[in-house]
């Protein structure tokens, strides 16, 4: 079966066999990518029209107990200037963001035990109290089921936890021995069971990744049916063991964005900052490939350059209002508009 026929089959049946996934990933060419993008764009417009949902990210701590081999804020990177925002600073970022039209706030950090259950629940419930028409998304890494339940009960709506890879052996090559793929997968199933709109995802082109690994990722997401998928190209960071590894493919990232949209038509799919870092028009091309979410930064400008998961990250010097206006123009330039809404999963 030719790649184009596989794309059509996926569009009809919403799944492929492992071997079909491998063939799709290994053998697609630029005309297949364009074909998938057009199809994905049509599906996205049927679901969401020309509306793009924005999420304001608050990166509130770059302190992390983990030592993931790809990550710029890994525990053993002594060159990072570490910081923590206070609860009041986090709330201030959200208050400002509300004024700019954000109706979803994404609280993201390294795995930092300083922010215990009580403190995090207090922050979440205060955001919901101040802004009852907003959604709160958390991206705080692996926690206990009890923590996840408490945060959900405090008002958190969504949780992003990239699975990173659905292949256990590949996971071991990207993470230190004390981290477990099984625990990551358990966390994801806990989140979904509790009732969060749950997001997973992976880097495209991470070291040791093969077409077989990516096929497993697609099969996992097909079964798991996340409400959100976060994928972006692997970008190396100079202070990690993977500093000299090549960056992930821009074209393959766009192709897989389209494929995710075709497989899960109603999924919330961001055009990531990493995509905009690898190519100046990356986020626009992401939207034209089927993405419907953009996640600009609401963190204080003073700390933005300290939250560098990879090198050369964009938009670290812009004020939040500038980011918002810039995105508005970027989306209008391709015929889309920013929608002021929570942008929930349908």
C-beta of residue 242 within 8 angstroms of C-beta of residue 200: no
- Average pLDDT for 192-209: 98
- Average pLDDT for 245-262: 98
Tell whether the torsion through CA atoms of 264, 284, 312 and 298 is positive or negative. negative
Query: Hey, what are 91's tokens?
Result: 């709330």
33 is in an annotated binding site: no
Give all strands (DSSP E) within the chain, no chain letters.
Answer: 51-54, 56-61, 104-109, 135-139, 158-160, 197-204, 228-233, 293-294, 337-339
71 is in an annotated binding site: yes
pTM for the predicted model, two decimal places? 0.98
What's the mean pLDDT when you consider all of the chain?
Answer: 98
Please state whether beta strands 293-294 and 51-54 pair in parallel, antiparallel, or not at all (unpaired): parallel
12 is in an annotated binding site: no
319 is in an annotated binding site: no
What CATH number belongs to 17-339? 3.20.20.70
64 is in an annotated binding site: yes
Query: Hey, what are 211's tokens?
Result: 């077409």
User: pLDDT digit string (tens) for 254-278?
Assistant: 999 999 999 999 999 999 999 999 9
C-beta of residue 296 within 8 angstroms of C-beta of residue 56: yes
User: pLDDT digit string (tens) for 5-31?
Assistant: 999 999 999 999 999 999 999 999 999
């Amino acid at each position: 079966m030719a790649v184009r026929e596989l794309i059509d089959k996926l569009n009809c049946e919403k799944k492929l066999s492992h071997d079909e996934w491998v063939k799709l990933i290994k053998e697609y060419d630029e005309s297949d990518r364009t074909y998938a993008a057009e199809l994905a764009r049509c599906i996205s417009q049927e679901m969401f029209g020309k509306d793009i949902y924005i999420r304001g990210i608050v990166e509130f701590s770059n302190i992390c107990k983990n030592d993931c081999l790809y990550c710029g804020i890994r525990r053993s990177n002594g060159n990072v200037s570490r910081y923590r925002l206070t609860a009041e600073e986090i709330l201030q970022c959200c208050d400002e963001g509300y004024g700019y039209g954000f109706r979803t706030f994404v609280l993201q950090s390294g795995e930092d035990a300083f922010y215990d259950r009580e403190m995090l629940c207090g922050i979440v419930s205060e955001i919901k109290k101040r802004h009852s028409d907003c959604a709160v998304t958390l991206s705080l890494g692996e926690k206990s089921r009890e923590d996840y339940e408490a945060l959900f009960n405090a008002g958190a709506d969504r949780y992003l936890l990239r699975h990173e890879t659905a292949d256990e052996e590949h996971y071991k090559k990207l993470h230190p021995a004390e981290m477990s793929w099984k625990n990551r997968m358990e966390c994801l199933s806990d989140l979904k069971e509790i009732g969060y709109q749950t997001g997973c995802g992976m880097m495209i082109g991470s070291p040791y990744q093969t077409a077989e690994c990516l096929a497993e990722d697609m099969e996992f997401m097909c079964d798991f049916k996340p409400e959100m998928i976060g994928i972006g190209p692997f970008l190396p960071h100079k202070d990690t063991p993977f500093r000299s590894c090549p960056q992930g493919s821009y074209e393959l990232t766009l192709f897989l964005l389209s494929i995710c949209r075709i497989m899960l038509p109603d999924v919330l799919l961001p055009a990531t900052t990493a995509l905009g870092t690898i190519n100046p028009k990356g986020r626009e091309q992401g939207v034209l490939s089927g993405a419907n979410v953009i996640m600009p930064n609401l963190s204080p400008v003073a700390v933005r350059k300290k939250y560098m998961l990879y090198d050369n990250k964009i938009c670290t010097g812009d004020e939040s209002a500038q980011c918002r206006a810039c995105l508005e123009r970027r989306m209008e330039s391709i015929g889309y508009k920013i929608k002021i809404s929570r942008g929930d999963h349908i």
